[in-house]
Structures are given as structure tokens and as C-alpha cells.
């Protein structure tokens, strides 16, 4: 358009987002877009806006400031608006206005931005108008463009490759959508399994869509036409396809009225200028404002702000001093903590070098070390991982051999150990002697070089491990199983973003004069902090210093969740590749010494190689004991040919999960061929059905030998207890039929009972009350075959039924929606869905203020009802009644009244019948706990005492018995040889309570063995109190250890975390935690934790048995001494008797 054709006045719309700035210049007379641009601001929002405004004023030279108005929106708009005279417009209002004017027929909008996501739905109101329902993500950037950026950088796809990806026909894998870091954890695990980038990204798109459909819709149904807006939706066709596929499925499931033969591309569309809708909406908003509003004030103030104005804002926002107090202090620190370069020994030509090799196949690099028989480091080699562990191992092993043979010496390998994510496949393929879990390897490395270590802090590329020791044994350990906040990769990626190699990180950070104070915790939030700090003008060196400064808070307050470091000890060893970064070390040393003034903080002299050294040391121990190595030999390894395959031909069909496997076919130079299979379970490691059955038989034997009462509890809770039917047959007389319609109606209700089908969700406190409900229903005459339960929680059930949620609460509550969905949409639908509201719960504990159920659990049945009746009554549509009686099970008499009122009204049962049914229901609950759980558990516990072995007690809430909620963690430990006890299975016979709690009762610490007021004064929450009591039980029983499991966002577990830990660890009893578990199952992290637990429990059992052996030896010695003394006494007594008898004396003489 020529300048002559330009309107007299233009309006500028700016959308200043978290990653990009979008701008439009529009003609207010006809809404034509005269100019537009879309650019990433690389965290420099003011600079990019300044650049745009300069370009706009140059493009419109005949439009002075008084003929140009500016309206601004987006997360960065509020601070910039006053600098240019603009008016800020809220994003949802801007987008809504643009849609209503340009696409008035649109029914909903989905916009994905850099760090936010929003959904807007227009619903018809009774007056024929439309009501707008907006929803945005909270402060978390999960499910947004930032996550796509982060993961795409990890899988290394170009922009063209990303845009060219397919969604349809691509294999999808489970990925967490709610959190960018959880998503990254899942992607890391899948990458290690060999999943290609195309499948990883398609899976991420699916996860983002599922997350936003289940949370941001707040239980509402999207209306067509649905517009896809924002950068990711505009530029990534596979993202668009993921939306279309899943939205069409929702419409189909909910029977939403659509045109005949609906075309997804017509109902879910990416409109023209989709990336500019917020900026366009800001302009449209401005058209309705008075003409003098938002007159462009020029760029001078903005330019001044870019140059100098941020200093004041930085000061106001809070800042810390530099990493070092003075140059002298920094120099002193460098002198103490700079690790000198290790000088490897030299070897003579012809010398045979005997050595043991440790290989750490990590997520980002592969390290190999060569040790002599004393564990001294005599060689090392490092290489970045290429993604194939066998190829990576060949490279580092060749490097080690060359380092020896280049001197004319010959390397003789005496043994090999592996650790890291690839440890098991390497053990099999190269014949390693040891496959050691990472935590154990790092512990071995620390204890080999340093005495009396209390704490090991390992900060690696992808994870953080903190290992606490007592008397040279591991007492506890913490891993960041879910979140990668503060790890080495995060520091490295930030450094790279600023154009600095990680090797220069410390030098740059130490130069910073002042640093911004980051919020510790989630890595995605820290990414947001970086953007905000850059907006305030903090420089790269200051931000890098700030990241180093917050690292110890991430370690101790976020991962370990222990501010009182002094209780852990005073000798700390820092390990892992990140500890080569002296800025990170300085922050940690200062933090630890501020908490523990007399602390000794050591950086391991081989911090980057500690994992490899640890497994090498273990290889020395194992091979010296066995006298030989299983290693295939260096020539065989370097000549090893292999092919890796993971596709439909490798899928396992031995169970309904049908998991993909990785086949690795190897061939040695001698022609020996072998196939190795990486599978998600042991049964998948073979191809032959007979071998699979053999493995299954062994697994079944393990289950029999090591009972899992969590599993028993989960299954028996939903069994039938065959009560006596108490319903009396009713035969109405003539008068009843004719003259008493109310009685007739009552009889008709009773008549329903024999055929009524009742479904109940296998969720929440049904895991502690199930026998009560099934028994009650059977007792009043409901046929057992007409009582149906939803399935156990699984991925498919949750995915299908989770989209009606209106809030993002804990997973056990969220999944309840899916359980009710499962009952509604099954082939054989129930007549009634019964989801009771357990106001209070039964408990065996004493001296409680009350016995209340969790408020979220109590509210969930009502939330479920609201979700399925929000847009029409789904229950009514399927001919289902929804019953949610309130019951106080802690007060049986009140429960009896509540039940009669509720079921009497619906099924016509009498008071007497109700009372008899209630009595049997409570009796079934007692049978379930006593006969099916505690009695057999007592036998197992007695055997543990006899054998001096250990059992694991799951310290969790009843619904964590659901294998879909506990992620089968306890089953993993069961397969390792430990019986598993649920809280309800702990025996409470008088003799065992006497054995466990007599001392506490005797000194008056507690009034009764079943009381907890010594550790929790005001106990009123049933499940919390049961966890605390069980923790006391574990702490006092020598053959039990505690496994504390809790769900993400559990408000009742959070306050008792420290109490449970202190109760158990005070007695030096092993205690391990899985806190914050959620719908995503981080299989790799779980495996590391369970293998670590297994290793340390085996050492603990060895100590127990050694102690017992010494006790028995001592007792035997004491008994022998006693017999010797008695024998001497008897001999002396006989001699004295001889002397006192004259006749005997004469004979003897």
C-alpha cells in the first residue's frame, strides 16, 4: 500500500510474550493489517519492542506520534506500556475480541504460547447469547511452547524437521504433559531405549494435548469451530493433528452434535494470522477507547530504560552480593578446591599392566577408568555419548587400551564393572563382572578415598543424588526422581545459551558484581526467572552466578528437603561432573558451612569419574573372590559387530501391555552370535513361550515365598464375603395394593433389589472400606454377580476418563473421575453408581480426637457428580442413578442411621434389615483385616524373625495399594526377595504389641500401644495417624524397614513427612521415600531407587546376621564358660564331700 493510500491514523498492536514479540499495524477504519512481524526476543523483550517501534515509525513516516496509538498485551506488556504511552490489554480479552469480530461463529479457542496456554469456550446462555469461559495455566509452564523448545533442543531436530513431523501413524509413548521437567525425564528414558526423535516429539504433542484437554477445559466441552492459535499451533502441523484427533474423540465420546460426516479440518482450524490474534485483539480493543487514549509517546523513554533504567528495578527486585566476599577470599578458595591434574603412572615397554575397568554409561557421556588391584587410578578415558551404549563403550575401551599400549606396554584386563543407565545391557554384551547401580557406585568411590564420610553429594548431568551414611553404611539417600532442577545439564545449557563453554562458567560467574536471587525449585520456573532477570538487565555473568548461588538450595531444600544439615554429620564429599565447576562448588561450600560451621567439605579428587571408579572397585572385590573374570576380552569387544532393532517386529505379546522391546544382535570376531533383549519386565527378555513360562514360574515362586500384602489387600478388598441375606420377602395384601399407595411404592422399591446392578469405583478409601460396601449390598439382597467394580488404575483407563476434571488435584482424586467413566462407558452398564462419602473412617488406634477422612477424598464423590452433570446429565443419559451417601464409619450407630435413611428411601429396606446388614458389613471388614491380612502376615513376620531377614512396610494411604497408583514399586521389591506389608496387615495381637510397645507404655510415653500422642498430639486424620503409628511399629521391630510413599499435591502427607522420617531413622532403621508420585511413571528412576534399596538392605541384612552370629557365638562361649564353672564347682564339691566321709577317705588313701 502506497503512503498516499494510508489512513490518517493507525493503531499498533503489540503482543510481548515470554519467548516472542508479535506486532501489527492496522487501519482502524476497516481492520486491514498494514504491517506485521513475529520474532523471538531471546529474553530481551524491551530491546525487541524498541526495534519494532523504530521499524514501524520508519515504515510510516507520515504518521507522527499524534496519529499513532499503541495497545499492548502479553506477559511482558505491563512494564513496557508506560514507557511508550501504550495501554495494556489483558491477553484473554484481546484474543476473545479478535475471535468475536473476525470469527463470530467460533465456539472455542486453544492458544499455546511460549510459557502459557489458554482455552476460551463460548457457551450458549438461556437468553440466546453466549457466555465466555476462559481458562489459563497457572505459574507452571508445563504443556506450552517452552517445553516443546526444550525437548526439541534435546532431540536435536532442525526447525524444518520439526515442522515436517507426522502425528498420524506414529507410535506414541507415555510422556508427562503437566510438567516440562517430568516430560524431560520421560523423554530421557525413552531416548535411552532407542526411541526415534519423530516418536518422541509426537508423544510430547500428545501429552500436551491430553494435559490441556484434561485440565484447562475445566470439565467443559470445546465447541466447534475450534481455533488453534499461538506459535506452536500455527507452525507445527503435527501439533495441529494431535489436537484434531483428540478433540474429535472427545466430541464422539460425549455425543456432541456435529454436522453429518464431520471434517476435522473444517471444525478445528488454524485461521489466517493465527500467531497475531492477541496483537490484533489489542488493536480492536483500542478502537473502542477514546481517541486521546494510548497516544504513542515515542521511543525515548524505552531507549533510556534499555540503557540505564533497569538499575533501579534490579535494586527493588532484591539481589545478593557476589559469590565471593573479596578477591583474597576467592584466591584462598581456589587454592583449596582447585583439583590438581592427575598424573597417571608411566609404563615400560614390554610391561604387562594388570588392571580392572569401571565403565559409567551415563546419559550425556561415557567414562571408563583403569584401576590397579588397590583401586589406584592408572588410566581414564571420556567421550560424549552418541546414543548407543555398545558403540560408546567400544570407543572408551579402545581409548584406555591405546593409553597403555602407546607406551609399549600390554594391558591385561582382570575384571570389568559397569554402572549408569546402560549397565545391564553392557554386563550382558561384554561380559562385565558387575552391574552396579549408580548410587552404590558413587558411595564406593567416596569411601575408597575418604574416611568417616557422613554425606555424599553427587550432582551429575541429569540427576542429583545425596547419600547419607552412618558408620560407613548408607542410612538413607535422596534422588531427584522427578525433577532436574539444578543439575549439570541445566547449568551447561544456560551457559551455552549465553555463548560460553561450560569450562568457563566459574571464571565468568566469579567476575559478577552482584547476582539475582533465583527461586529454588522447578527448572521451568527457573527458566522463567532467567527471562525476568534479563528483562531487568541482569547480565549473563550475573545470571550464571545466580544459578550457581541457588544450586545448594535446590539440592538441600528441594531434593533432600532437609534444612538442618547438622543432623546429617560434618564430613561432606562433593562428587559428579558438575563439581568441576568451582562456582557451583563455592556456593555449596558456603551453604554447608553456614549450616554446619565445623563442616569439612571435600571435592572428590576424581569427582567426574567417581561412578566409574566405584563400579571398578566392586569389580576388583568380585573377581578376587571368584578368581576369574567373565569379560569377553578386548579384541572380542572391539571387533564386536551388532545390530539394534526396535520396531513392531520386536513387540512382546506375552501380556496385554504389548510393550516394544529392543533387540541387540551381536557377533564376535570368532563368529559367536547372541541376541540380547531390553524389555520392560523379565518375561519380555525371551522370545520362546516355553522359556517365558519358565521365567513366569520362577516369578510365581518368588511371589509365593515373599508375600505381598499390599497386593493381597488390593484384591481381597473387593472380594465377596458371602453374608446371610437379611431381606425378608414381602407379600402385600389386597388392602395394601388398593388403599396404601405409599406402601405399594415401598414394595416396588424392594422389588428392584433382586435385579439391580450396582457399580462402584475402585478408588480412594474404597481400598479400606470395600468389604463393608459389598457385604452390605449382598446382605440386603443384591446379587454378587450384579455388584461390579471399575478396573484397577491403568494408563488407558486414566487417559480415557480424565478429561472432565475441573481442577488439578492429587492423582488419586483425579483418577476417580476415570473410574466412574469406566463404569458408565462399559458394555454392561450398572443401574446405579455408588460412590460413598466417607466422612469418618474406622480405626484401631486409640486416644484420637477424631477419625476423619481426607477432605479431598470426602469431596471427590461430589466433584465427580458435578463433572458428569455439568453439560447435561450423563448419568441420566445412560439410565444410571448416582448415589453418594455420607457415612460416619467411626461412629457405627450414626452410620446405621445414615445408611437406613439413604438406602431405606431408595430400596425400601426396614430398620431391622438395615441393622442386620450393617452388622455383617462391619464383621466382613474385620474378617478382611484379621483373617486375610494380619493372620498370614503374622506368620511371615515370625519367619522373618526366625531367619533374621527383613520385610518392607509400605507407609502409605490405603488407595496406594492400587498398583496403578504405586507404580508397582512394591512388586519390584517383592521380586528382589522382600515380603511386603501394608499398614492394615501389621499384626496387632496382644503379645506382639507387648513386644513392640511395652517399653513406651511402661514409662508412660503413651497410654496404649495403639496411641500416637507421643509423636502427634492432636490426631484426627485417620490415614495420617495410621502412617505415624506404622512408622513407630517399624522403628521398634528389628525385622521391618519403612518405605514412605506419597502422591504429588498431598496436603495431608506433607506435614507428617519429617515426623515419619524422624520416628524411623531415630532407631537407625532403614527408611526410603517415594514422595510426589503422580500419573507419570519414571521407570528408569524407579529402577535406580529400588536397586539401590535392594543393595543397601542386603548389606543391612549381612550386618544383622553378623551381629546375630556374634551374639550366638558369645552366648555359646558364655554357656561353655558357665558349664566349665559348674563342672569345676561340682568337682570341688565332690572332693570336699570325699574328705568329709571317713570311709571314703580311708578307701582313697
| The dihedral formed by the CA atoms of 648, 652, 658 and 659, expressed in degrees to the nearest 10 | -80
Contacts for 532-540 with beta carbons within 8 Å, 24 or more apart? 534/43, 534/44, 535/43, 535/44, 535/45, 535/46, 535/76, 535/79, 535/310, 536/310, 536/313, 536/314, 536/317, 537/310, 537/311, 537/313, 537/314, 538/314, 539/512, 540/498, 540/499, 540/500, 540/508
Cell numbers of 947, please?
Answer: 531367619
Range 317-343+453-603 has CATH code 3.30.420.40? yes
Q: Among residues 633, 621, 569, 624, which one has the least CA distance to residue 595?
A: 569
Dihedral sign, Cα of residue 153, residue 158, residue 163, residue 169 = negative
Q: Domain 3-102+289-316 maps to which CATH number in 3.40.140.10, 3.90.1720.10, 3.40.50.300, 3.30.420.40?
A: 3.30.420.40
Range 934-1105 has CATH code 3.40.50? yes
Cell numbers of 181, please?
Answer: 521437567
Spell 744-759 as b/e; 16+ CB within 10 A means b.
eebbebbeebeebbbb
Same fold, 108-270 and 934-1105: no
- Give the integer Cα–Cα distance in Å for 658 and 648: 10
| pLDDT for the residue numbered 1033 | 97
Q: Is 660 left (phi over 0), alpha (psi -120 to 50) or beta?
A: beta
- Give the integer Cα–Cα distance in Å for 684 and 753: 47
Query: Beta strands 434-435 and 515-516: pairing type?
Result: unpaired
Neighbours of 1110 (CB within 10 A): 10
- Give the integer Cα–Cα distance in Å for 527 and 529: 5
Cell numbers of 339, please?
Answer: 583439583
Whether the CB-CB separation of 1089 and 1072 falls below 8 Å is answered with yes
- Give the integer Cα–Cα distance in Å for 632 and 192: 24
Q: Domain 108-270 maps to which CATH number in 3.40.50.300, 3.40.50.920, 3.30.70.100, 3.30.420.40?
A: 3.30.420.40
| The dihedral formed by the CA atoms of 299, 302, 303 and 304, expressed in degrees to the nearest 10 | 130
**Residue showing cell 531377614:** 949
Q: Is 43 left (phi over 0), alpha (psi -120 to 50) or beta?
A: left
Whether the CB-CB separation of 861 and 884 falls below 8 Å is answered with yes
Query: Beta strands 515-516 and 319-320: pairing type?
Result: antiparallel
- Give the integer Cα–Cα distance in Å for 438 and 422: 11
- Give the integer Cα–Cα distance in Å for 645 and 96: 49
Q: Which helix (H) or strand (E) element contains residue 987?
A: none
| DSSP 8-state symbol, 685 | G
CA distances from 1145 to 742, 1137, 1141, 1142 (A): 111, 10, 6, 5
Cell numbers of 188, please?
Answer: 530421557
- Give the integer Cα–Cα distance in Å for 382 and 399: 8
Whether the CB-CB separation of 416 and 617 falls below 8 Å is answered with no
Q: Among residues 492, 551, 518, which one has the least CA distance to residue 363?
A: 492
- Give the integer Cα–Cα distance in Å for 428 and 426: 5
Planar angle of CA 479, 476, 461, nearest 5 degrees: 25
- Give the integer Cα–Cα distance in Å for 895 and 902: 11
Whether the CB-CB separation of 864 and 836 falls below 8 Å is answered with no
Stretches where the chain sits below pLDDT 50 are 1-3, 735, 1147-1149
| pLDDT for the residue numbered 1149 | 44
- Maximum CA extent, the chain: 152
DSSP lists the bridge partners of residue 572 as 455, 601
Helix runs in 499-656, H state only = 505-511, 523-535, 540-553, 582-595, 610-626, 634-638
Order of strands across the sheet with 108-112?
A: 130-136, 117-124, 108-112, 226-229, 268-269
Provide the CB-side half-sphere exposure for 401 (13 A, CA).
15
Per-residue pLDDT tens digits for 477-504: 887 755 555 567 778 878 887 888 889 9
Q: Among residues 557, 490, 481, which one has the least CA distance to residue 519?
A: 557
Q: Residue 225: is the preceding peptide bond cis (ω within 30°)?
A: yes
| DSSP 8-state symbol, 441 | H
- Give the integer Cα–Cα distance in Å for 597 and 602: 14
Q: Where are the domains of the chain?
A: 3-102+289-316, 108-270, 317-343+453-603, 640-700, 738-929, 934-1105, 1112-1144
Backbone angles phi, psi at 435, to 5 degrees: -120, 100
Amino acid at each position: 500500500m502506497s503512503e498516499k493510500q494510508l489512513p490518517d491514523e493507525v493503531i499498533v498492536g503489540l503482543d510481548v510474550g515470554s519467548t516472542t514479540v508479535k506486532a501489527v499495524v492496522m487501519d482502524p477504519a476497516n481492520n486491514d493489517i498494514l504491517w506485521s512481524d513475529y520474532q523471538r526476543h531471546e529474553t530481551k523483550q524491551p530491546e525487541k519492542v524498541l526495534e519494532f517501534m523504530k521499524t514501524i515509525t520508519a515504515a510510516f513516516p507520515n504518521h507522527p506520534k499524534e496519529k499513532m496509538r499503541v495497545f499492548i498485551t502479553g506477559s511482558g506488556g505491563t512494564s513496557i506500556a508506560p514507557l511508550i504511552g501504550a495501554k495494556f490489554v489483558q491477553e484473554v480479552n484481546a484474543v476473545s475480541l479478535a475471535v468475536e469480530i473476525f470469527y463470530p461463529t467460533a465456539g472455542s479457542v486453544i492458544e499455546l504460547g511460549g510459557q502459557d496456554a489458554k482455552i476460551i469456550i463460548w457457551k450458549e446462555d438461556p437468553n440466546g447469547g453466549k457466555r465466555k469461559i476462559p481458562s489459563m495455566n497457572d505459574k507452571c509452564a508445563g504443556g506450552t511452547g517452552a517445553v516443546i523448545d526444550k525437548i526439541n533442543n534435546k532431540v536435536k531436530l532442525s526447525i524444518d524437521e520439526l515442522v515436517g513431523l507426522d502425528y498420524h501413524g506414529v507410535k506414541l509413548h507415555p510422556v508427562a504433559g503437566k510438567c516440562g521437567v517430568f516430560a524431560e525425564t520421560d523423554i530421557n528414558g525413552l531416548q535411552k531405549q532407542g526411541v526415534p526423535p519423530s516418536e518422541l516429539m509426537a508423544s510430547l504433542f500428545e501429552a500436551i494435548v491430553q494435559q490441556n484437554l484434561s485440565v484447562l477445559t475445566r470439565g467443559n466441552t470445546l465447541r466447534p469451530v475450534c481455533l488453534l492459535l499461538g506459535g506452536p499451533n500455527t507452525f507445527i502441523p503435527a501439533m495441529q493433528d494431535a489436537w484434531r484427533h483428540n478433540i474429535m474423540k472427545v466430541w464422539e465420546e460425549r455425543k456432541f452434535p456435529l454436522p453429518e460426516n464431520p471434517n476435522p479440518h473444517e471444525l478445528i482450524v488454524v485461521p489466517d494470522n493465527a500467531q497475531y490474534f492477541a496483537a490484533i485483539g489489542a488493536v480492536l480493543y483500542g478502537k473502542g477507547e477514546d481517541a486521546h487514549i494510548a497516544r504513542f509517546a515515542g521511543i525515548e523513554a524505552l531507549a533510556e530504560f534499555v540503557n540505564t533504567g533497569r538499575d533501579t528495578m534490579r535494586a527493588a527486585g532484591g539481589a545478593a552480593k557476589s559469590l565471593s566476599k573479596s578477591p583474597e577470599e576467592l584466591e584462598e578458595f581456589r587454592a583449596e578446591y582447585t583439583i590438581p591434574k592427575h598424573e597417571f603412572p608411566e609404563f615400560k615397554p614390554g610391561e604387562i599392566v594388570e588392571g580392572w575397568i569401571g565403565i559409567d554409561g551415563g546419559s550425556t557421556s561415557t567414562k571408563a577408568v583403569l584401576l590397579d588391584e588397590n583401586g589406584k587410578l592408572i588410566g581414564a578415558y571420556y567421550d560424549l555419548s552418541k546414543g548407543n551404549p555398545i558403540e560408546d563403550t567400544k570407543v572408551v575401551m579402545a581409548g584406555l587400551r591405546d593409553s597403555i599400549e602407546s607406551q609399549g606396554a600390554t594391558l591385561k584386563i582382570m575384571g570389568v564393572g559397569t554402572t549408569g543407565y546402560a549397565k545391564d545391557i553392557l554386563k550382558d554384551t561384554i561380559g562385565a563382572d558387575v552391574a552396579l547401580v549408580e548410587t552404590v557406585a558413587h558411595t564406593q568411590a567416596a569411601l575408597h578415598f575418604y574416611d568417616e564420610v557422613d554425606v555424599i553429594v553427587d550432582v551429575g548431568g541429569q540427576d542429583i543424588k545425596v547419600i547419607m551414611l552412618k558408620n560407613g553404611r548408607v542410612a538413607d539417600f535422596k534422588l531427584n526422581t522427578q525433577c532436574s532442577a539444578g543439575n549439570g545439564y541445566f547449568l551447561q545449557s544456560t551457559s551455552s545459551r549465553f555463548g560460553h563453554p561450560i569450562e568457563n562458567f566459574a571464571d565468568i560467574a566469579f567476575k559478577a558484581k552482584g547476582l539475582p536471587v533465583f527461586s529454588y525449585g522447578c527448572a521451568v520456573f527457573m527458566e522463567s526467572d532467567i527471562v525476568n532477570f534479563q528483562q531487568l538487565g541482569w547480565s549473563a555473568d550475573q545470571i550464571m552466578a545466580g544459578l550457581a548461588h541457588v544450586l545448594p538450595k535446590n539440592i538441600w531444600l528441594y531434593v533432600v528437603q532437609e534444612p538442618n544439615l547438622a543432623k546429617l554429620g560434618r564430613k561432606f564429599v562433593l562428587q559428579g561432573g558438575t563439581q568441576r565447576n568451582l562456582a557451583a562448588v563455592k556456593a555449596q561450600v558456603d551453604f554447608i558451612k553456614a549450616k554446619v560451621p565445623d563442616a569439612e567439605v571435600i571435592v572428590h579428587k576424581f569427582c567426574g569419574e567417581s561412578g566409574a571408579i566405584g563400579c571398578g572397585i566392586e569389580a576388583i572385590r568380585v573377581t578376587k573372590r571368584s578368581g576369574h573374570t567373565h569379560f569377553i576380552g578386548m579384541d572380542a569387544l572391539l571387533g564386536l559387530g551388532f545390530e539394534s532393532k526396535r520396531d513392531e517386529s520386536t513387540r512382546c505379546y506375552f501380556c496385554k501391555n504389548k510393550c516394544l522391546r529392543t533387540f541387540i544382535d551381536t557377533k564376535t570376531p570368532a563368529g559367536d552370535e547372541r541376541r540380547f533383549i531390553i524389555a520392560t519386565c523379565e518375561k519380555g527378555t525371551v522370545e520362546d513361550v516355553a522359556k517365558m513360562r519358565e521365567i513366569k514360574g520362577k516369578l510365581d515362586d518368588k511371589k509365593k515365598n515373599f508375600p505381598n500384602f499390599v497386593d493381597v489387600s488390593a484384591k481381597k478388598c473387593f472380594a465377596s464375603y458371602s453374608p446371610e441375606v437379611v431381606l425378608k420377602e414381602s407379600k402385600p395384601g389386597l388392602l395394601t395394593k388398593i388403599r396404601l399407595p405409599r406402601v405399594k411404592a415401598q414394595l416396588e422399591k424392594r422389588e428392584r433389589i433382586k435385579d439391580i446392578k450396582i457399580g462402584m469405583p475402585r478408588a480412594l478409601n474404597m481400598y479400606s472400606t470395600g468389604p463393608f460396601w459389598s457385604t452390605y449390598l449382598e446382605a440386603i439382597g443384591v446379587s454378587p454377580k450384579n455388584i461390579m467394580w471399575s478396573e484397577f488404575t491403568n494408563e488407558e483407563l486414566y487417559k480415557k476418563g480424565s478429561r472432565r476434571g475441573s481442577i488439578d488435584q492429587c492423582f488419586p482424586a483425579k483418577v476417580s473421575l476415570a473410574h466412574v467413566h469406566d463404569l458408565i462407558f462399559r458394555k454392561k452398564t450398572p443401574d446405579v453408581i455408588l460412590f460413598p462419602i466417607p466422612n469418618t473412617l474406622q480405626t484401631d488406634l486409640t486416644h484420637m480426637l477424631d477419625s476423619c477422612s481426607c477432605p479431598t477424598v470426602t469431596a471427590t464423590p461430589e466433584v465427580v457428580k458435578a463433572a458428569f452433570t455439568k453439560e447435561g446429565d450423563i448419568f441420566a443419559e445412560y439410565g444410571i442413578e448416582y448415589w453418594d451417601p455420607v457415612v460416619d464409619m467411626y461412629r457405627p450407630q450414626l452410620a446405621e442411621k445414615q445408611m437406613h435413611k439413604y438406602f431405606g428411601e431408595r430400596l425400601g429396606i426396614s430398620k431391622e434389615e438395615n441393622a442386620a446388614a450393617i452388622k455383617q458389613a462391619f464383621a466382613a471388614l474385620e474378617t478382611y483385616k484379621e483373617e486375610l491380612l494380619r493372620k498370614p502376615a503374622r506368620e511371615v513376620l515370625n519367619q522373618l524373625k526366625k531367619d533374621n531377614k527383613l520385610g518392607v512396610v509400605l507407609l502409605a494411604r490405603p488407595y496406594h495399594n492400587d498398583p496403578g497408583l504405586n507404580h508397582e514399586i512394591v512388586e519390584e521389591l517383592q521380586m528382589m526377595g522382600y515380603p511386603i506389608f501394608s499398614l492394615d496387615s501389621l499384626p496387632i495381637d496382644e503379645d506382639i504389641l507387648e513386644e513392640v510397645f511395652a517399653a513406651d507404655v511402661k514409662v508412660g510415653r503413651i497410654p496404649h500401644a495403639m496411641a500416637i500422642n507421643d509423636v502427634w498430639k492432636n490426631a484426627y486424620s485417620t490415614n495420617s495417624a495410621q502412617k505415624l503409628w506404622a512408622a513407630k511399629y517399624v522403628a521398634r521391630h528389628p525385622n521391618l524397614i519403612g518405605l514412605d510413599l506419597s502422591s504429588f499435591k498431598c496436603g495431608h502427607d506433607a506435614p507428617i513427612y519429617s515426623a515419619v522420617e524422624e520416628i524411623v531413622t531415630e532407631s537407625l532403621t532403614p527408611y526410603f521415600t517415594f514422595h510426589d508420585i503422580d500419573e507419570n511413571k519414571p521407570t528408569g528412576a524407579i529402577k535406580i531407587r529400588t536397586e539401590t534399596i535392594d543393595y543397601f538392605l542386603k548389606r543391612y541384612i549381612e550386618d544383622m546376621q553378623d551381629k546375630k552370629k556374634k551374639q550366638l557365638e558369645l552366648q555359646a562361649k558364655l554357656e561353655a564358660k558357665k558349664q566349665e564353672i559348674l563342672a569345676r564347682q561340682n568337682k570341688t564339691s565332690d572332693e570336699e564331700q570325699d574328705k568329709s566321709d571317713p570311709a571314703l577317705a580311708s578307701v582313697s588313701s
